[in-house]
Structures are given as C-alpha cells and as structure tokens.
C-alpha cells in the first residue's frame, strides 16, 4: 500500500477534548437560526422527497442567488461549501502553478498540494496588503491567482486597485469573499468587465450555515459551464439547497447579526489595540501568544503558525462570550506570560 504523503505545512487537525465552554476558533456565526426560520425550513423539508437525488445543476438555488445579486443563473455555481468549490477550481484551469498570497487561508495550498500542483507564494506586505505588480509578474504561467478579501487570518480587505492590476493581466483570479458581508466591500460589480474573475462566497459565516455546507461562485458563464463539467453531480444535497434558499429570504436577520458582530469586534479591538490588527471580518488577529492560556480558561481560539506564530485568531462570539475572552486576555496581559 502506498499512501500519498501528507501535505507538510498543513498541521494535523487537532481534536480538542475536555470541557471547553467557548468556541472562537472557526469563524462560525455565534448565532444559530432563529426558531421561526428553522420552522420555515422544516416546512419546506417536509415537502421534499428524500428518496430523490438533488437537482443535478442545483437550478432552484442558483436562480435564488442570481436574483439576489441581479445576475443570471448561468453566472452562478453552488457546491458543498466553499471548500469543495476551491478543490474543483484548483483543478479546472491549466497552468504551471497556482499563486497564493500568504499569510492567507490554507485550503488553496492544501488542494494544490493534494493535486500535485506547484504553489508560487507572493507574500503580503507588512500591512498584509497584496502587491498587484508582483503577482502580475507571476500571472503568465499561473493557472489561478487566489486573493482573499477580507483576508483570513489577518482580517483586512485588499485594495481594489491592486486587484485590478492582477485582473488586467488576464489570469484567472479567484477572489475569495467568504467574509464580504462583514466588510460591505465586494468586487461583484467587476464581473461584467472581467471574464477572468471568479468570486467565491459561502453561507458558512454571515448566514449562520456552517453545518449545512453551502458555498457559491459568481463568474462568467463559460467558467460556470466548465465547472459543472467536472463537478461531482450530487454533492450539494437537497436539504442544504432548501435551507440556503430560505436563508436568502432572511437577509435582514443576517445583516442584523452582522452588525452585532461588527460592534462586538470593535469593542474588543479597542480594548486590545496594541495587540490586535484592524479587521473587516468576524474575527481579530492578535499578536498574543495566549493560545494555551485561553484553553485553560475554557476558551478555544485559533493558534497560528509560520510567520504568525505567537499570534492567535479570535472569532467574535456573543457578548457574554466576548466578555469572558476580554477578561481572560486582560489576566493574560497582567500576568505577563
């Protein structure tokens, strides 16, 4: 038996045991769906035949997303979470390598390595901003350039003029906007002009549906068609499709929570300004080596590695959870650990 080597820089997933009270490690929404919306979903599910395969091209959900953005369903693809979409995108285009901009989301690197596709890294500058000119230099031989805005784990958005420099080379750009609802910034308006732009979104963060697994792409029709030619046909199940569609009709609830999370984020940021980086997402990057200390307090955050070792990424939770985090971090700082 020969097993493909593990991807080196991808730390084995640490399964945490013990009685942790507060989970601020995965950038989830701290709020589950309101009971009335759950009931509405259950009503829809009751009408759904469980014995049938889901719609093969997921048209009902694609139409709903298209209507939401004023696009055509032919410009929308949906999949089993953003991660599944990324795994297909990595393989869809030809080229010598993919380009990533570390420190950023690890899944681009993960899927490239898994598919034995080389990765060229064009690091972010000291303020975690992309350098459009440097990326453009690598564009010619690249299959895809991944840009993340707001970026995970740093929380900042990327300047439009830098993104434009990359788009103008004609290389396929996957612009990962998983946290765009929190920043209020998007490049969706550029889809009209750039056939090489693919925008990735997810229902996992602002829409509170991390457990349901749904993400979508917005792009030129030709890319969407190509995507459906390689996609596993039934990976987005009918239950999730219905759930996501119902949530699109409750954008007011989504935005109410987004605003709550933004307020809480700023409250925490102000208290730890010397250690936290400004964020336009639902988390904060902090230059505090407090991972183990917080675990002992029952608070789980994300430990980071590489150039961000001794940093933590903290998801914004509910007010009470954030209070506990604030108190624990104050104690950590006073103790001078």
Chain length of the chain: 337
Residue 199 has what DSSP assignment? E
Stretch that binds ligand PLP, among 79-87, 188-196, 218-226, 245-253 (CB under 6 A): 79-87
Decide if residue 82 touches ligand PLP (CB under 6 A).
yes
- Identify whether the C-beta of residue 282 lies closer than 8 Å to the C-beta of residue 152: no
Q: In terms of CB distance, is 180 or 325 closer to ligand PLP?
A: 180
Label the pairing between strands 173-176 and 97-100: unpaired
Window 205 to 234, contacts with ligand PLP (CB under 6 A): 205, 210, 215
Total binding residues toward ligand PLP, as defined by CB under 6 A: 14
* Cβ 99 to ligand PLP shortest distance, Å: 16
* Cβ 312 to ligand PLP shortest distance, Å: 16
Stretch that binds ligand PLP, among 29-37, 203-211, 228-236, 295-303 (CB under 6 A): 203-211
Q: In terms of CB distance, is 186 or 328 closer to ligand PLP?
A: 186
Decide if residue 30 touches ligand PLP (CB under 6 A).
no
Among residues 25, 40, 162, 176, which is the contact residue for ligand PLP, using CB under 6 A?
Answer: 176
- Identify whether the C-beta of residue 24 lies closer than 8 Å to the C-beta of residue 317: yes
Among residues 204, 243, 282, 315, which is the contact residue for ligand PLP, using CB under 6 A?
Answer: 204
Gap between the Cα atoms of 311 and 302, Å rounded: 9
Q: In terms of CB distance, is 101 or 204 closer to ligand PLP?
A: 204
Gap between the Cα atoms of 216 and 196, Å rounded: 16
Q: Would you tell me how many other CB atoms lie within 10 Å of the CB of residue 33?
A: 20
- Identify whether the C-beta of residue 66 lies closer than 8 Å to the C-beta of residue 196: no
Gap between the Cα atoms of 234 and 190, Å rounded: 30
Window 93 to 132, contacts with ligand PLP (CB under 6 A): 105
Nearest to 330 by CA among 268, 278, 285, 283: 268
Decide if residue 279 touches ligand PLP (CB under 6 A).
no
Q: What is the DSSP string of 61-76?
A: HHHHHHHHHT--GGGE
Window 144 to 163, contacts with ligand PLP (CB under 6 A): 148, 152
Q: 3-state DSSP: the chain helix, strand, coil percent, rounded to 5?
A: 40, 15, 45
* Cβ 323 to ligand PLP shortest distance, Å: 25
Stretch that binds ligand PLP, among 69-77, 201-209, 299-307, 326-334 (CB under 6 A): 201-209
Stretch that binds ligand PLP, among 95-103, 131-139, 199-207, 291-299 (CB under 6 A): 199-207
Gap between the Cα atoms of 240 and 216, Å rounded: 13
Nearest to 316 by CA among 26, 102, 61: 26
Q: Which residues bind ligand PLP (CB under 6 A)?
A: 27, 81-83, 105, 148, 152, 176, 178, 202, 204-205, 210, 215
């Amino acid at each position: 038996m020969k097993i493909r080597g593990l991807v080196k820089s991808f730390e084995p997933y640490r399964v945490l045991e013990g009685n942790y009270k507060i989970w601020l490690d995965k950038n989830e929404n701290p709020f589950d769906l309101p009971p009335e919306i759950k009931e509405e979903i259950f009503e829809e599910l009751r009408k759904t035949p469980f014995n049938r395969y889901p719609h093969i091209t997921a048209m009902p959900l694609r139409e709903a997303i298209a209507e939401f953005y004023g696009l055509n369903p032919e410009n929308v693809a949906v999949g089993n979470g953003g991660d599944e979409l990324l795994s297909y995108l990595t393989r869809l285009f030809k080229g010598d390598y993919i380009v990533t901009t570390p420190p950023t989301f690890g899944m681009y690197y993960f899927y490239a390595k898994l598919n034995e596709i080389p990765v060229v890294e064009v690091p972010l500058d000291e303020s975690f901003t992309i350098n459009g000119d440097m990326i453009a230099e690598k564009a010619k031989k690249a299959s895809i350039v991944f840009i993340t805005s707001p970026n995970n784990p740093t929380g900042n958005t990327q300047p439009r003029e830098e993104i434009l420099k990359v788009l103008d080379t004609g290389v396929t750009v996957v612009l990962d906007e998983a946290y765009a609802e929190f920043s209020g910034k998007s490049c969706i308006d550029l889809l009209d002009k750039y056939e090489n732009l693919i925008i990735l979104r997810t229902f996992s963060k602002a829409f509170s549906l991390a457990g349901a697994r749904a993400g979508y792409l917005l792009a030129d029709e030709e890319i969407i068609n190509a995507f459906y030619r390689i996609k596993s046909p039934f990976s987005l199940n009918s239950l999730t499709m219905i759930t996501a569609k119902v949530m699109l009709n409750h954008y007011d609830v989504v935005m109410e929570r987004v605003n709550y999370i933004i307020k809480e984020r700023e409250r925490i940021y102000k208290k730890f300004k010397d250690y936290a980086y400004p964020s336009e997402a639902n988390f904060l990057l902090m230059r505090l080596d407090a991972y183990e200390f917080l675990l002992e307090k029952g608070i789980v955050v994300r430990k980071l590695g590489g150039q961000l070792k001794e940093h933590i990424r903290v998801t914004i939770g509910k007010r009470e959870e954030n209070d506990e985090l604030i108190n624990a971090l104050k104690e950590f700082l006073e103790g001078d650990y």
